[in-house]
Amino acid sequence: MTPLRQRYLEDMQVRTLSPKTQRLYVECVSLYARHFHKSPALLGPDDIRAYQLYLVHDQQVSWSRFNQRVCALRFLYRITLGKDWVITHIPFPRKPTQLPVVLSPAEVTQFLGAITNLRYRTALSLAYAAGLRISEVLHLPVSDIDSQRMPLRIRQGKGQKDRYVMLSPNLLTLLRQYWKAVRPTECLFPGKSPQQPIGARTLQDVCLRACRDAGVGKRVTAHTLRHSLATHLLEAGTDIRTIQFLLGHNRLRTTARYTPVAATTVAATVSPFDTLPLPPHP
């Protein structure tokens, strides 16, 4: 490991960036260095701009991937190398806004019912019942299930934040059934090692098979279940601030994106057409 990479990692660790972000940033900087065949310490603002143009025009990367690369370089030059350059984004085509895919309650039942493996069905039921991210499901320890007070404690979710979410009685019944069958001791969903969870890729593959077997005509991932829970809560009249807290969103506008897909919100809106006097039948 080069001294620059070591310092870069240390700077990210001191600022408590998540391990996933650290790995991503290191990969981004490595690709940048390989593009120029030089250490990033020998490159400057003109090189950064040229690299951005290369990403947009030659690589045609998505907005999210482009933004990741720029953020990784900004951290490297501003924090690790102490440069006072202003690293800005070059103009980039506006990212199209897409509504999240949401399952109906009937489709959720259909989807989960198609999963015969108890471990996987419990993990994905947890993703829906508590609205968890896949990483939060997989890293949930047995000790954070409070069957007395009925919350689940989510430790160090996205943004390094702890929070509590509801523990559904039906989910608790399923968790108890699963615990009796598997007897996990530390990690709730252990893989080959009791200390390490099953892989996220494994659960995503389970989703693809369950979607096909259930005949659900939508592309379903583990995150689709989180989207569905948020939408169903909104349709049931749950306050949007409560949903924001349960999902662990920093900004309310992130939670508000579920409003356009909530059927009750859309259906309850009165069209001005209903206030018009209709002409007589021809």
Is residue 138 within 8 Å of 200, Cβ to Cβ? yes
DSSP helix/strand/coil, 230: helix
Is residue 16 within 8 Å of 89, Cβ to Cβ? no
Q: Indicate if 158 belongs to the active site.
A: yes
Q: Quote the CA–CA distance of 41 and 80 in Å, as a whole number.
A: 10
Q: Quote the CA–CA distance of 205 and 210 in Å, as a whole number.
A: 9
Which of 153, 163, 249, 257 is catalytic? The answer is: 249
Q: Indicate if 258 belongs to the active site.
A: yes
Q: Indicate if 133 belongs to the active site.
A: yes
The count of C-alpha atoms lying within 13 angstroms of the C-alpha of 268, restricted to the half-sphere facing its C-beta, is 11
Beta bridge partner(s), residue 159: none
Q: Indicate if 223 belongs to the active site.
A: yes
Which of 5, 153, 158, 257 is catalytic? The answer is: 158
Which residues, 6+ apart, have CB-to-CB distance to 273 below 8 Å?
Answer: none
Residue with tokens 């990212």: 95
Which of 74, 133, 139, 232 is catalytic? The answer is: 133
Q: Indicate if 226 belongs to the active site.
A: yes
Is residue 70 within 8 Å of 107, Cβ to Cβ? no
Beta bridge partner(s), residue 190: 197
Q: Indicate if 232 belongs to the active site.
A: no
Q: Quote the CA–CA distance of 149 and 202 in Å, as a whole number.
A: 32
Q: Which residues are catalytic?
A: 133, 158, 223, 226, 249, 258
